[in-house]
Amino acid sequence: MATRELMYREALREAIDEEMAANPTVFIIGEGIAERGGSYKVTEGLLAKYGPKRVRDTPIAEAGMIGVGVGAAIAGARPIVEILYVDFAMLGMDMIVNQAAKFRLMTGGDGRVPFIMRTQGGTGGGVAAQHSQSLEALFYHIPGLRVVMPSTPADAKGLLKYALRQEDPVMFLEHKHLYMTKGPVPDGEHVVPFGVGDIKREGSDVTVIAWSNMIPRTLEAAEALAAEGISVEVIDPRTLVPLDRDMIIKSVLKTRRCVIVQEANRRGGVASDIASIVQEECFYEMDAPVEIVAGMDIPVPFNLTLEKASVPQKEDVVAAVKRVLHVQSLAAAAE
Amino acid sequence: MGAAASLQNAPSREFLEKLFRTAYKIRVFESEGIKLYRQGLIRGYFHPYLGQEGIATGVCAALSEGDFIASTHRGHGHCIAWGADVNKMVAELLQKETGYCRGYGGSMHIADISKGNLGANGIVGAGTPLGVGAALANQVKGSDAVTVTFSTDGASNNGTFLESLNLAAIWNLNFILVIENNQYAVSTRIEESTRDTDLYKRGLAIGVESHQVDGNDPLAVHAVMEQAVATCRAGKGPVLIEAKTYRHMGHHVNDPGKYMPEEELAYYKARDPVDRARNALREMAGVSDEEIAAIEAEIAAEFADAVEFSKNSPEVTPESFREFAVGY
Ligand SMILES: Cc1ncc(C[n+]2csc(CCOP(=O)(O)OP(=O)(O)O)c2C)c(N)n1
Ligand SMILES: [Mg+2]
């Protein structure tokens, strides 16, 4: 299929643009997203094309913004609320957890909430503890939400288009480090359904599961390991809820080894839950315990060296893969 | 502010009868519902609207099909005034499959999105952003529908009160915030939660047309609402209406409300909104006591039928619930 090289942020913009053109009830609100085009330039040009009714700047009022987004979705529109940092979504947690996630059940299934919160998280900017969190586990824990974490421009576009066509509240979690990354995006209509993972690299010795910005890092690790003759299969679930359990289980049954990489701190994280699924389904077929490579259980510090130390790096992934393969490093063997 | 009970054009009998029917229906629903609660047929939270009927009655009478409402934890009256099916309401309280929410929601979550009822809410203050959101959706769609959020004195000190009303204001949304100031949040008096107890002034502070009205006077509420709806449809919304009122009992069915001073309660009971609606029908439209008694009997019978319907409705089963849960 023909593709074009697009940046992650351009791919997101295409998705919004195409869906706004197709559906007049799609609209977007956020801080500085209209005239200025947003802090990450995702919404550039949309104001000129769709006008101030459908592309609106808001005051700094996250609980209110998320709340009106949820209300608009309940009332039959398809709002996208852009929140500058996932850290700021915490101000709107009542609206996400107690309203958006609950409405469908509380109405016996009649009420649906096609609300999309687009936001970004993760480290990489040296922007310190209140602007660097990876908070997917909070949303993952809440039944009724969909949790989407694209790692490539193509996935970003396809998943956002799908989000704008389904009926449930979506936590669309982008990564601040990915906006400027480039990748091939298929020409024409490109929609990626939820709950379908993607094998980012095929391999036979170890399955490594990762998402968001841990995908490029894991792919680098896989490349380095390939040079040492180790074949790594990299699985990107793309959506954490719903989770493509089948793809994960199938891969682990094939490689018999599993490493899970998450940028978020380890305690209570999504990786732990995936590990529990893997051990439940694959335990007797496995040659090593599941390894989790995760952020440290501490807020992200400002100092760049410490920031790096607090979240998984390529070397951490390489080391974990070797551990599940029982490969001793030369240095360790020499001791 | 202001909006004294306006009797500019003498209201029609039809209109006055509608007001009385609504107010009385709420009164019956709540007082009979409490009996069902005492019999153990209803469990959980039940916040009666007794004493506040004039507000939902007057507000909804000024709205049209296609408009939206969002409600509170004390929401039965709003549903009824909005024209809800009493069978489905009672069935929901009795946690039956035939209830508005299949028994999954209960008293605090009755909603009917097909009719523009965005639902009651178990979170104090949550209805305000949701209502503003519905108004925003309507503006995006090019509809001139109006959305009313019924809110409370308690919710007025929550951050989303300002955030969402301000959003409605900068976007000129067709949104009306009706604050039912019953002067209590559970047992906490309004004087303890805010220095200035005239809550309508908060709208003025951010450039929103704001009114204060006697919430126990359904005609006065209706008059100020008509004005508010006109403001909205002229593209000059939102509007804030503070309706002063008082509960006839404690916060919920199991709260004896001992903290409510007797004289104060007596003062408001002497200004009972249902009596006022009845008197208006009798005095302004010349409807006889016999006719009124017939209306009351009809409404009581409708409620009794709803109880029968609900008792005879099928129970919700774990099997169907497990099916519902797939893919959650
Ligand atoms: C966010 C939140 N905090 C606390 C409660 C518990 N609660 C339920 S009703 C209530 C009092 C509400 O008073 P008010 O808002 O004035 O409404 P009223 O009961 O008087 O109608 C409280 C504190 C809640 N449901 N939600
Ligand atoms: Mg109150």
Give residue-wise pLDDT tens across range B229-260: 999 999 999 999 999 999 999 999 999 999 99
CA nearest A103 in B: which residue? B109
**Which residue ranges have their beta carbon within 6 Å of ligand 1?**
B 72-74, 122-124, 152-155, 182, 184-186, 251
Of A140, A157, A186, which residue sits at a domain end?
A186
Q: Helix H segments across chain A?
A: 8-22, 46-50, 62-74, 93, 103-106, 136-140, 153-163, 214-227, 245-255, 270-282, 304-310, 314-324, 330-334
The answer for B 26-85 residues in CB contact with A (under 8 A) is 68, 70
Q: What is the mean pLDDT of residues A170-195?
A: 98
The answer to whether A59 and B132 are in contact (CB under 8 A) is no
The answer to whether B122 faces chain A, any CB pair under 8 Å, is: yes
Tell me if residue B165 falls in helix, strand or coil: helix
pLDDT at A335: 53
Residues of chain B with pLDDT under 70: 1-8
pLDDT tens by residue, A66-121: 999 999 999 999 999 999 999 999 999 999 999 999 999 999 999 999 999 999 99
On the question of a cis peptide bond just before residue B238, with omega within 30 degrees of 0, the verdict is yes
B180-211, pLDDT tens digit by residue? 999 999 999 999 999 999 999 999 999 999 99
Q: What pLDDT was estimated at residue B2?
A: 38
The number of folded domains in chain A is 2
Note whether residue A319 is domain-resident.
yes
Q: Give me the pLDDT at residue B95, please.
A: 96
Same domain, residue pair A157 and A221: no
Whole-number average pLDDT of chain A? 96
Q: A223-241 as b/e, with b when 16 or more CB fall inside 10 Å?
A: ebbeeeebebbbbbbbbbb
Q: Which residues of A touch B (CB under 8 A)?
A: 24-25, 27, 53-54, 56, 58-59, 61, 63-77, 79, 94-95, 98-99, 103, 105-111, 143-144, 242
CB spacing of B163 vs A94 below 8 angstroms: no
Which residue in the block uniquely carries the two structure tokens 């390529």?
A314
Co-location of A17 and A153 in the same domain: yes
* Percent over 70 (pLDDT), chain B: 98
- Residue B113 maps to a domain: yes
Residues of A marked as catalytic: 131
Are residues B141 and A25, on separate chains, in Cβ contact within 8 Å?
A: yes
Residue B8 included in any domain? no
pLDDT at A125: 80
Q: What percent of chain A has pLDDT over 90?
A: 96
User: Domain residues for A17?
Assistant: 3-186
Ligand nearest to the CA of B125: 1
Structure tokens at A181: 């990354």
pLDDT digits (tens, 9 = 90+) for A219-257: 999 999 999 999 999 999 999 999 999 999 999 999 999
Cα–Cα dist B21/B317, whole Å: 36
| Protein residue with its CA nearest to atom 16 in ligand 1 | B154
Number of domains in chain B: 1
A328 pLDDT tier (thresholds 50, 70, 90): low
> Are the C-beta atoms of residues A31 and A60 closer than 8 Å to each other?
yes
Task: Answer yes or no: is A116 within a domain.
Answer: yes
Predicted pLDDT at A126: 87
Are A82 and A112 in the same domain? yes
| B164 touching chain A per CB within 8 A | yes
| Contact between chains at A63 and B130 (C-beta distance less than 8 A) | no
List for chain B the helix, strand, coil content (%; round to 5).
50, 10, 40
* In a domain? residue B310: yes
Domain that holds residue B179: 13-314
- Position A72 scores a pLDDT of 98
Indicate the pLDDT class of residue A334, thresholds 50, 70 and 90.
low
Average pLDDT over residues A187-208: 98
Residue A1 is predicted with a pLDDT of 83
Task: Assign residue A138 the CATH number of its domain.
Answer: 3.40.50.970
Question: What was the pLDDT predicted at A331?
Answer: 52
Tokens of A65: 């913004």
Q: What sign has the CA pseudo-torsion A174, A175, A179, A181?
A: negative
Are A47 and A105 part of one and the same domain?
yes
Cross-chain CB nearest to B166 (options A61, A74, A109): A61
A105 min Cα distance to partner chain B (Å): 6
Does residue A329 surpass a pLDDT of 60? Answer: no
User: Residue A94 and residue B138: Cβ atoms within 8 Å?
Assistant: no
State the average pLDDT over residues A307-311: 96
